[in-house]
Structure 1
Amino acid sequence: MPRNRTHLCLLLSSILFQCSLACAQSPTLQTRWAKDVHATAIPLPEYPRPQLVRNVWLNLNGPWQYAIAPMSQQTPPASYAGNILVPYPVESQLSGVTKTVGKDQVLWYKRTFSLPASYKNKNLLLHFGAADWQADVFVNGQLAGTHKGGYDPFSFNITSLLKKSGSQEIVVRIWDPTDDGPQPRGKQVKKPSGIWYTPVTGIWQTVWIEPVAPAYIASLKPTPDIDKQSLQLSVNAPSLQPGDVIKVTALDGTQQVAEQTINNGTATTLNIPQPKLWSPEHPFLYNLQVAIVRKGKVIDEVKSYFAMRKISMAPDEKGIQRMLLNNKFVFQFGPLDQGWWPDGLYTAPTDAALLYDLTQTKAMGFNMIRKHVKVEPARWYRYADSLGILVWQDMPSGDLGNHWENRPGVLGRATDQKRDDISENIYRTEWKAIMDALHPFSCIVVWVPFNEAWGQFKTEEITKWTMQQDPSRLVNSASGGNFYPVGHIIDLHSYPDPAMPRPDLFGKQQALVLGEFGGLGLPLPGHTWQQKDNWGYQSFKNADDLFEVYKRFCERLKTLIPEGLSAAVYTQTTDVEMEVNGLMTYDREVTKVPAEKLKAIQEPLTKE
């Protein structure tokens, strides 16, 4: 961010000064889906893990008891304050609580449940889609386990902790220091203002129980290779017995296209002849079935899916590196998507709401989304796979300490932050867990370890480590951050006008992208988080004037693409709290510029 960075820093300083009031949770702004939350006995009743589906499971979403206690309290409270609706964060409207917790307190949850008779003689897994940040889980008074990480799913085998009959009890203790700790936390701060938002504490994705056999399929890792017309598949299957085999079947609809039996080990390669390639215009998905077979009997079986697609880079005729999809250059254009909700904060009110943002993005003519310093529930990525939307996945930021630095002739390069061992270990552990959990989703084509120098450290080492973790995707080491000659991409942020990194300086080594631009603001009365002090990088009084500037931006992109620009990200999908620079309002009631008008000028840029 060379010529615009100083201007941006001054602008943000002004914004933060004007918005220095601690903005409390809006008591009134809700989405249309909020009314549906209480219309069902179990909120978010949909199966939460679409990449590994079993038919039998028990959803534990719904009313739990809660209490907020001093952090020093290590044992469950004697009494609880009332009910909280799981899985909505305690600070959110939909939780029914709307209270903050903070680093000096802990949040306790409690609920009881009964197991169906059909679960007898099964192993029982207790799953959490996500809980922010440290979760200590107790079952019937005994510790089932502890998990640290606000964005990755986790589970515990609770079989040995269950009573033989009757009511079972789960208690969860959550500690989340928000911006008082080094852990990944994205845009959350204890005093929201400007570009920083309300804290999210506690369980914020589905909680559920799953009965499995002692030997079961825990996860799958599919990696396509369109050049070899094959799919590499690793199967994580604990407690296999000698003689067990894993049977893998790939299907086009219901038509079998490949089958393998793994007799020794847990990995195989499926040949996929004449593969149907996945792309934004043709998002074809193959079905996948995986089973553990013992002496001819199926012990465990799951249903999944995969796509045949390739993301890579190669020089064009001018020697400029280009991002390629399925060995062809496709310009990637999409919004910065933060995934916040006025009523649920990190948690979409319903599955229909979760899907809505994606369908609207597609209707606007975008082919990509940059998922910004947040990780979504697995169903969001399943929808992106189905709709054909490319995803750049950010690592949620944390331990913010260093800043941008300009030097003559250098594009924002600065000395890396020095994190202590605890902070570094937290980062590496959670980033790896996120990449492992999201690896099966074909929509993800780029990993982004750092954003705008927020907590950026050991850039070259972390980037190379990320590339080693997943060689099948591109790595954008520092989106708009302090740049080093490492990774596949160099990513400039420029507000509000589009710009690009210099092809003559960087284009021969890295793909050139515009990781953020735009931020055109339009507050609409009745649809804002707060009545005043809303902001955008450039403000407008009506949608027509905004569209004229946006159209000019798209025309500028059209001239940058032949010069070497591979991708661009517009800020942003929706308004978020004090920011009113979304293409949609925060409550999703108004698309500020009709989707068809946006599609008419954007789709030609991304045509395959």
Structure 2
Amino acid sequence: MRKVVLAILSLMLVLDILVWRIAYQAATAPPPEALQRAQASSARPKRPIQLKGDGFRQTLSLNGSWRYLQTGAELSEGYEKPEYSDADWHEMDLPNNWYLAGLNYHGVIWFRRRFTVPAEWEGRVVRLRFEGVDYYAQVWLNGEPLGRHEGYFQPFQFDVQDLLNYGGENVLAVRVDSPYEPYGTTWPHHKELIKGIFNHHDTRPGGGWSPAGQEYNTGGIWNDVLLVASDAITVDALRLTPGPAQGDTLIEGGDALLRADTRVYNHSAQPVSARIALRVSPYNFESAYASVTLTDEVTLQPGENEITMQDTIPSVRLWWPWDMGYPSLYRAELQILINGQIVATREETFGFRQIQVSDTWEWRLNGVRFFPRGTNYIASQWLSETLRPLEPPQALGPMPPPEVARYADSTPWFLRDLQMMKEANLNFVRVHAHVLPQEFYRAADALGLLVWQDFPLQWGYSDAPGFHDGALRQLQDMIELLYNHPSIVVWTMHDESPWDTPEMTSRIPDYDPRQNRRLDQQLRDLARKLDPTRFVHINSGSGDAHVYPGWAYGRWQDFSQAPGAPMITEYGAQALPNLETMRMMFTEEELAYKSGEARQRWEFRDFQPRETFDIARIDPEEGIEAFVANSQAYQANLLKFATEAYRRLKYEKVQGIFQFMFTDGWPSITWAVVDYYRRPKLGYAYLQTAMQPVLPSIDAALPDRLKRTTWVYQDPSRFWFALWVVNDLHQAFPGATLRWDVYQGEQSVVSGEVRVDIPPDASQQVTAVTDLGLSPGEYTLRVRLLNARGELLGENLLAFELAEAEP
């Protein structure tokens, strides 16, 4: 009897497990493991397309109003079926991140859209293309599964010609999952979503380490959805690699090699003889050489064909950042011709440029040494808004001249931000632990700003083999997507990976010094294989330095010792946004940083109280106006002092600098010098001064204290200053004049000038001034640097106060 009872109990246990498993699979249809680590994929066989040879190509946008339903993760209940009624579903305009549509939500949302395609498309190749979906996507057309995709930044597509109702109604269903990663187990230290700063960062909603750090989810169909119809031949990729024709270095005006790697798909059932022509011509400049055409005769087999062409391009114009020359761009127009008829085309822009970075962080572009003056950039927490027209309260801001903007093929968001960087005298921008839309990189190409591109890994991730495989696939996607942009000169695999971030030893309870090291090594090795033309860095924070004296520790004066040299890729301090922005973020009651609830709201918006009050010693008790002014003054002084201190040691000890950071990615309180609405903080102007290509730098005695941005000396006899000239331009300025004046009010009370020959790309001390004989009072030191014709090269200011000496 006992055996019978045990058998019955065992059977009940097995049945219970089976019931639980069935319920689990139904509740997660399809199960997460079926979606994870999978790129756009479908096993559906395709019927061959008859080649018509007419070069047909049309595009139909599926942007606009879609139906949607928040479903958690339960069974679809037939949501993918054409006959399902979605009449009671809500509507959302796409593309969009669903948070911007009013949904603060983690999990699954189903989207549906009905559309018609022209009857004349029948018999053509038709592809359904998604330019960006965050994060997991599964797609059905007219009830038939197309496939699935993982990743937020990559475009993906499906061949759909066999499933369309031509001239009739079609139903597209997309299951999008942007999940919450379980706090304490997966997030923050063993993450599985490759989203970088969009899923974990100390500038995103909720901050970096609190349980609220995943709030305001970025999920959604955030970029265009398109149907593209074409003839049976399609050009699926065109990769352009420039190189020197002779020697090891590209030369301005010299000949260069161009290698073109093309991926062509023959959707027909028969091999086809074709002529491939690649016309290369100037895009944003004029040249004596109007164009050069590379040609090849090939046989296109059914399916995918890899074709390589290479030839010499004469007298090339090189791509340079704006402060070294002109960002010359070329247009490459590929044509596939059959019997003399164009059947497929593809166009790309690219540039001839060459980057070299030594083991000691010496930078050379096109063989010329240069000093990076950079910043870190997070455009927005929700990428869909970067692709729209600018609307209040977003400020329009400065824009590049029309003759530059028309070659950028970008959006006002990126044109504005990059122009603000140029006007701040920056020549380099680090896209910090995320990937942006193509429009950003096209704008950087046209405006002449170098780009340091991070792969979207921030802090700790899973070390499961499946996660590693998925990361390698997504890295390949990133490099293939962005390969042709000359502005990009660095690929970085990870930001502050646990294996080389000392801070993680105290943050991660089960800290393993090996965590993600093998992952990063695999990523580095793959990146070098895929793209040997760029500098590949294993981890930002390994070899380069993230230093925060005066904010996370120490004093701002510690920057005089050049901490983190030779390569500093993060330094800075937080500052409150302008009062107008603060009032948009908080109620009047919350603007007083006193109550527990108000503090929670401030810290949710990334405010760091310990650093603000205990290290920076900024007093909030004088009211919000004074708090904003004091906070911005502290950041401005720190950035200017640090930047000048680093730049004076150019090449002697320091090889480059990247301030952290440029813009707020959402209405928040961060290290940015420009807030989310693009209102500059005081730090923007101070950074602009300190980053001048030709900088008259003031190296003064360190003060006893600060009064906002005024340096205060308790003993007037301690005040002295030295003047330096830092020239980042590759141009000498013989016979220049360095003039200085000390003003009390509007009156110059003491002055001097020095004649100086300024060598190119160098830093030198010009003079030192002591014993000025000044009485106690408030003063401004103004320095101006003029060329031999009396034209202004650069200027600088230092406000200081000499206090009454104590008896």
Q: Same fold (TM over 0.5)?
A: yes
CA distance in 2 between partners of 1:445 and 1:72 (Å): 45
Deviation of 1:118 (Å)? 5.8
Q: Which residue of 2 aligns with 1:257?
A: 291
1:298, distance to aligned residue in structure 2 (A): 0.6
Q: Report whether the alignment pairs 1:579 with 2:651.
A: no
2:639–2:687 Cα contact (<8 Å) kept: no
SS at match of 1:173: strand
State whether structure 2 residue 231 is matched by structure 1 residue 202: no
1:484-522 deviation per Cα after TM superposition (whole angstroms, max 9, x unaligned):
xxxxxx21110146576877xxxxxxxx42121113413
Confirm or deny that 1:183 pairs with 2:193.
yes
1:320-376 alpha-carbon deviations (Å, 9 max, x no partner) = 451211111111122111121579577666521232211211221111111011111
Count matched residues: 513
**Greater mean alpha carbon deviation, residues 581-590 or residues 303-312:** 581-590
Q: TM-score, normalised by structure 2?
A: 0.59
Q: 1:56 Cα deviation (Å)?
A: 4.1
Aligned 1:509-548 pairs, distance under 5 A = 512-528=566-582, 530-531=585-586, 532-533=602-603, 534-535=606-607, 541-542=628-629, 543-548=632-637
User: In 2, Cα distance between the equivalents of 1:434 and 1:250?
Assistant: 25
Q: Which amino acid aligns with 1:393?
A: Q
Correspondent of 1:456 among 495, 513, 516? 516
The 1:596/1:572 distance shift into structure 2, 3 A limit, reads closer
Distance 2:488 2:351 in 1: 11
**1:134 paired residue number:** 136
Aligned match of 1:239 in 253, 266, 272? Answer: 266
Indicate how the Cα distance of structure 1 residues 564 and 398 shifts in structure 2: closer, same or farther if over 3 A, else same. closer
Distance in 2 of aligned mates of 1:518 and 1:342: 24
Q: Is the 8 A contact 1:218 1:238 kept in 2?
A: yes
Aligned to 1:286: 330
Tell me if structure 2 keeps the 8 A contact 1:492–1:500. Answer: no
Query: Counterpart of 2:450?
Result: 390
Report SS of the residue matched to 1:243.
Answer: strand
Provide the C-alpha distance between the structure 2 equivalents of 1:188 and 1:162, rounded to a whole number of angstroms: 36
With over 3 angstroms needed to count, the CA separation of the structure-2 counterparts of 1:298 and 1:346, relative to structure 1, is: closer
Quote the residue 1:555 is aligned against.
644
Matching of residues 307-456 of structure 1 within 5 Å: 307-314=351-358, 320-341=360-381, 351-397=411-457, 400-401=460-461, 419-453=463-497, 456=516
Q: Answer yes or no: is the 8 Å Cα contact 2:99–2:105 preserved in 1.
A: yes
Query: Quick one: distance in 1 between partners of 2:693 and 2:279?
Result: 36
Equivalent position SS for 2:233 = coil
Do the aligned partners of residues 118 and 390 (structure 1) sit closer, same or farther apart at CA in structure 2, a change above 3 Å counting?
A: farther
- Name the CA distance, whole Å, in 1 between partners of 2:562 and 2:180: 34
1:147 aligns with 2:149: yes
Secondary structure of the structure 1 residue equivalent to 2:651: coil
What SS does the corresponding residue of 1:187 show, helix, strand or coil?
Answer: helix
C-alpha contact 2:118 2:167 (8 A) present in aligned 1:
no
Q: 2:229 aligns with which of 175, 199, 211?
A: 211
Residue matched to 1:98: 103
Aligned to 1:569: 658
Partner of 2:752: none
Task: Report the counterpart of residue 57 of structure 1 in structure 2.
Answer: 59
Moved more, 292-301 or 138-147: 138-147
Deviation readout 1:214-272 (Å, 9 max, x if unpaired): 11111111111145411111111111843112110101248533211122361111312
Residue-by-residue CA offset, 1:131-180 (whole Å, 9 max, x unaligned): 11111111121112211111211111111111121222211001222434
In structure 2, C-alpha distance between the alignment counterparts of 1:435 and 1:500, rounded to whole Å: 34
Is the Cα–Cα contact under 8 Å of residues 575 and 586 in structure 1 kept in the other structure? yes
1:306 and 2:350 matched: yes
Contact 1:335–1:370 (CA<8 Å) still a contact in 2?
yes
Change in Cα spacing, 1:188 to 1:248, as seen in structure 2 (3 Å) is closer
The higher-RCO structure (CA 8 Å, 6+ apart) is 1
- The alignment status of 1:193 with 2:210, answered yes or no, reads no
CA change 1:343–1:436 in 2 (3 A) is closer
Partner of residue 529, structure 2: 468
Task: Provide the residue aligned with 1:12 in structure 2.
Answer: none
Describe the superposition over 1:15-36 as per-residue Cα deviations: whole angstroms up to 9, x where unpaired. Answer: xxxxxxxxxxxxxxxxxxxxxx
Letter in 1 for 2:320: S
CA RMSD of aligned residues (A): 2.9
Deviation at 1:593, TM superposition (A): 4.6
Q: Is 1:112 equivalent to 2:120 in the alignment?
A: no
Shift of 1:555: 0.8
The AA in structure 2 aligned to 1:422 is G
- Shift in CA distance, 599/440, structure 1 to aligned 2, threshold 3 Å: farther
Query: Bigger CA drift: 578-587 or 433-442?
Result: 578-587
**1:272 is the counterpart of 2:313:** yes
One-letter amino acid of the counterpart of residue 535, structure 1: F
- Pair 66,382 (structure 1): closer, same or farther in 2 beyond 3 Å: same
Greater C-alpha Rg:
2
1:234/1:572 CA distance change after superposition, 3 Å: same
CA contact (8 A) 2:127 2:158 kept: yes
What is the alpha-carbon distance in structure 1 between the residues aligned to residue 161 and residue 674 of structure 2? 46
Amino acid paired to 2:263 = N
Match of 1:123 among 119, 122, 125: 125
The AA in structure 2 aligned to 1:269 is Q
How far apart, CA to CA, are the structure 2 residues paired with 1:301 and 1:596? 48
| Alignment partner of 1:495 out of 544, 548, 556 | 548
Deviation per residue, 1:427-456 (Å, 9 max, x gap): 111111111111111111100101111573
TM-score, normalised relative to structure 1: 0.78
Gaps of 5+ in 1: 1-53, 402-417, 484-489, 504-511
CA gap of 1:396–1:421, structure 2 versus 1, over 3 A, is: same
Residues 46-99 of structure 1: per-residue CA shift (max 9 Å, x gap)? xxxxxxxx984222222211111131324417535311121111112xx2x323
The amino acid of 1:59's aligned partner reads S
Task: Tell me the equivalent position of 1:413.
Answer: none
Residue 386 of structure 1 and its aligned partner are, at CA, apart by 0.7
Amino acid at match of 1:568: I
Q: Distance in 1 between matches of 2:169 and 2:682?
A: 51
Shift of 1:115: 2.4
Q: What CA distance in whole angstroms lies between the structure 2 residues aligned with 1:342 and 1:588?
A: 16
SS at match of 2:362: strand
Aligned letter for 2:240? P
